[in-house]
């Protein structure tokens, strides 16, 4: 028979910290009591009682002049404020993960959001979390959440912030998140299930699927122990829930190939070892000795160590990493990447392995602060030095600017680019490059002085020269390009078609009559152009923008004919009349005699450039492409109408 002990069985770091704190105070003879059971395990509580520590049920029962140990589940804000008012010395053993949740719900309420706590409503941890906000909502699962949402008309539109009891299961949390994302319009989610809890539950699930018997060790009042048993029963028919080794006598050991042992977070190592030893007579193969696993669970880390862990949770502010030691690791989002535009989900996902550097090991808070960004910086120096030696092009983001130039972050390393090497015109402020992604070459590296210098313009010039050479090699009349307007003059626009500038004459910008190119394009516009002619010797390119599929005279003749009325725009005044644009690129003449139904001394007396007027098309010279227009024809009655009006009325 093979017996396998789950690697994460037993005390989590929060419980271990609480017990060690209590034992230390007892050993020091500090007069204090515990507020409630410091952990859900009667054997541990009995041991502490032997050492002189006992518990009280309510804050007011703490004697004057006596300190108090806050259990790992935490307490409400009101309890802490009461102790502060009374001058009671507090030894806070609240699990750091739970303290983190207190801060989340308190901040959410300050921002006008409603905290929603997913967990067992009467659990001490949940009661403590709820005590850090005025109007929390506590739901035990998705069905409970559905009932609460249906209890008010506007609840689905409220700004909600979801957190979870640290010992809840991923299934309960995921079901609630799925429900909320589907029905709520403004919800934030903080997966605060303890990474150690998630790992312990997943190990138990996988181990139970392989074993004929699962033994779950822990106090029957412990929430996380009961959840472990529930998870094991999903995959294994035989599950024993026992509190200590002697409880095994109530059961008959079945004939199975493999027995799995796991334990809740409140189960001390010595109880697990007793259970493990009691089964020793039945053991034929031991996968790993208890002593070795215990040694692994308490191994220590030092600042600067490089570690690899598994991502167990991602929140809007940090990433939780399981390192396989007694403390969890946390990577703040600011320590994840040096790229300000990168999204967390593009770098890591839950379940991924991630490499990082230890920044700080906090025994007080029971956590390890990590940084992936700083590890990347160390690697970045090696890549920067290689880029300088090989003259390779690197990419980075401009993070700072000053009169002397800009600072570019490349692989987490600060690279200074002098103003003369930015490629910006002399009068352009350096701030134009802020937060932009740029390509540059490294021109100087001094790692001892942490000085790196680079050039953006060298890359720009080289790339532009290469692009220009490609354009001149492939250019031909009629070829189309997408370019950028670089500058405007009175006679046209210069367009960059990929390293080479070509000129679009004002007459080629539009079929309409225009006075300046700015009426059609502006600097920076992206435009489609075609090559009219290219002189490779003189390096001159003539470009066009007008769409020849819309030839103006063809558009006019297919739209209008003699006798039609058109709304036209006056474009030019002459002594003998006014020219008007009928369609873009086609003008007609309104003779001075046709401008009004009365004598006109000069065209400017009745119309002005830019006016829009209705005219009648009186003649079209197809051969010379000339059009005659008349306003007068629309103002005077026709010949037939005049004849009818002048005819004598027949006498009756």
What residues contact residue 66 under an 8 Å CB cut-off, 6+ apart?
Answer: 31, 32, 33, 88
Is the distance from CB of 564 to CB of 616 less than 8 angstroms?
yes
Q: What share of the chain is helix, strand, coil (3-state, %, to 5)?
A: 35, 30, 35
C-alpha 225/C-alpha 231 separation (Å) is: 10
Yes or no: say if 384 and 450 are a contact pair by the CB < 8 Å rule.
no
Starting from the edge strand earliest in sequence, which strands make up the sheet with 90-92, in order?
A: 55-56, 32-35, 67-70, 90-92
What is the spatial distance between Cα 152 and Cα 480, in angstroms, rounded to a whole number?
62
- Contact between residue 263 and residue 8 where contact means Cβ atoms under 8 Å apart: no
Give the sheet arrangement for strand 114-118, strand by strand: 137-139, 114-118, 160-164, 187-189
Q: Clarify whether 89 is annotated catalytic.
A: no
Q: Report d(CA 36, CA 39) in Å as an integer.
A: 8
Do you know the residue count of the chain? Answer: 652
Residue 78: other Cβ atoms inside 10 A:
11
Q: Which residue has the tokens 């909600």?
A: 160
Radius of gyration of the chain (CA): 41
Q: What are the structure tokens assigned to 514, written together?
A: 């225009």
Cβ proximity of 139 and 180 under 8 Å: no
Residue 645, classed as helix, strand or coil, is helix
Structural tokens at position 429: 């402020």
| DSSP H helices in 391-534 | 457-474, 506-509
- Looking up tokens 């004459």, which residue turns up? 505
CB of 224 within 8 A of CB of 23? Answer: no
208/4 Cα distance (integer angstroms): 10
Which residues, including other chains, have CB under 8 Å from residue 293's CB and lie 6 or more apart?
5, 7
- Buried/exposed 300-317: b ≥16 CB within 10 Å, e otherwise: ebeeeeebebbbbbbbee
Cβ-count burial 413-444 (b if 16+ within 10 Å, e if not):
bbbbbebebbbbeeeeebeebeeeebbbbbbe
Cα separation, 58 vs 35, in Å, equals 7
Vertex 34: Cα angle to 30 and 35 (nearest 5)? 140
What order do you get walking across the sheet with 285-286 strand by strand? 238-242, 213-217, 258-263, 2-5, 285-286
C-alpha span between 96 and 320 (Å, rounded):
12
Torsion angles phi and psi, residue 330, rounded to 5: -130, 135
- Range list of β-strands (E), 230-366: 238-242, 258-263, 285-286, 306-314, 318-322, 329-332, 353-362
**In a 3-state reduction of DSSP, which class is residue 385?**
helix
The catalytic position among 75, 125, 318, 508 is 125
The residues annotated with a catalytic role in the active site are: 125
């Amino acid at each position: 028979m093979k017996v396998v002990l789950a690697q994460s069985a037993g005390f989590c770091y929060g419980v271990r910290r609480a017990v060690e704190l209590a034992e230390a105070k007892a050993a020091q003879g500090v007069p204090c009591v515990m507020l409630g059971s410091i952990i859900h395990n009667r054997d541990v509580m009995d041991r502490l009682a032997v050492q002189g520590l006992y518990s009280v049920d309510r804050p007011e029962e703490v004697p004057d002049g006596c300190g108090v140990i806050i259990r790992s589940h935490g307490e409400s804000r009101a309890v802490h404020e009461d102790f502060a008012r009374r001058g009671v010395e507090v030894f806070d053993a609240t699990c750091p993960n739970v303290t983190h949740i207190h801060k989340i719900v308190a901040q959410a309420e300050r921002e006008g959001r409603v905290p929603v706590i997913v967990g067992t409503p009467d659990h001490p941890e949940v009661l403590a979390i709820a005590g850090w906000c005025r109007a929390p909502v506590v739901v035990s699962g998705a069905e409970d959440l559905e009932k609460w949402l249906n209890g008010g008309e506007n609840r689905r539109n409220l700004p909600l912030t979801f957190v979870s009891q640290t010992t809840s299961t991923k299934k309960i949390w995921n079901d609630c998140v799925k429900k909320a994302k589907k029905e709520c319009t403004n919800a934030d989610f903080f997966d605060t299930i303890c990474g150690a809890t998630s790992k312990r539950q997943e190990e138990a699930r996988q181990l139970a699927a392989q074993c004929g018997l699962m033994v779950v060790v822990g106090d029957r009042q412990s929430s996380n122990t009961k959840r472990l048993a529930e998870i094991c029963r999903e995959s294994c028919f035989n599950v024993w829930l026992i509190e200590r080794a002697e409880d095994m006598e109530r059961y008959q050991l079945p004939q199975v190939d493999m027995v799995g042992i796991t334990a809740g977070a409140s189960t001390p190592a010595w109880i697990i070892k007793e259970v493990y030893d009691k089964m020793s007579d039945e053991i034929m193969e031991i996968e790993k000795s208890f002593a070795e696993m215990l040694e692994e669970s308490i191994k220590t880390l030092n600042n600067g160590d490089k570690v690899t862990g598994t991502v167990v949770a991602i929140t809007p502010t940090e990433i939780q990493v399981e390192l396989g030691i007694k403390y969890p690791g946390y990577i703040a989002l600011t320590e994840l990447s040096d790229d300000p535009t990168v999204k967390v989900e593009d770098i890591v996902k839950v379940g991924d392995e991630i490499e990082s550097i230890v920044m700080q090991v906090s025994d007080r808070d029971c956590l390890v602060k990590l940084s992936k960004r700083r590890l990347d910086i160390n690697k970045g120096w090696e890549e920067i030095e290689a880029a300088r030696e090989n003259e390779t092009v690197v990419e980075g983001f401009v993070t700072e600017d000053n009169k002397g130039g800009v600072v570019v972050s490349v692989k987490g390393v600060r690279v200074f680019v002098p103003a003369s090497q930015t490629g910006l015109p002399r009068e352009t402020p350096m701030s134009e490059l802020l937060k932009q992604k740029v390509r540059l070459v490294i021109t100087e590296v001094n790692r001892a002085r942490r000085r790196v210098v680079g050039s953006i313009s060298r890359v720009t010039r080289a790339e532009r020269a290469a692009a220009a050479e490609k354009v001149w090699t492939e250019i031909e009349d009629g070829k189309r390009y997408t370019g950028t307007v670089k500058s405007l003059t009175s006679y046209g626009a210069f367009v960059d078609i990929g390293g080479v500038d070509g000129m679009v004459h004002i007459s080629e910008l539009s079929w309409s009559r225009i006075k300046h190119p700015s009426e059609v394009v502006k600097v920076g516009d992206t435009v489609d152009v075609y090559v009219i002619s290219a002189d490779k010797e003189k390096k001159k390119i003539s470009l066009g923008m007008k769409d020849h599929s819309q030839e103006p005279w063809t558009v006019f003749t297919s739209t209008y004919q003699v006798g039609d009325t058109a709304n036209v725009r006056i474009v030019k005044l002459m002594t003998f009349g006014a020219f008007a644009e009928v369609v873009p690129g086609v003008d007609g003449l309104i003779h001075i005699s046709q401008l009004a139904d009365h004598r006109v001394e000069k065209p400017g007396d009745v119309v002005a450039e830019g006016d829009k007027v209705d005219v009648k098309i009186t003649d079209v010279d197809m051969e010379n492409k000339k059009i005659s227009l008349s306003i007068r024809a629309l103002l005077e009655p026709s010949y037939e109408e005049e004849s009818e009006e002048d005819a004598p009325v027949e006498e009756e």
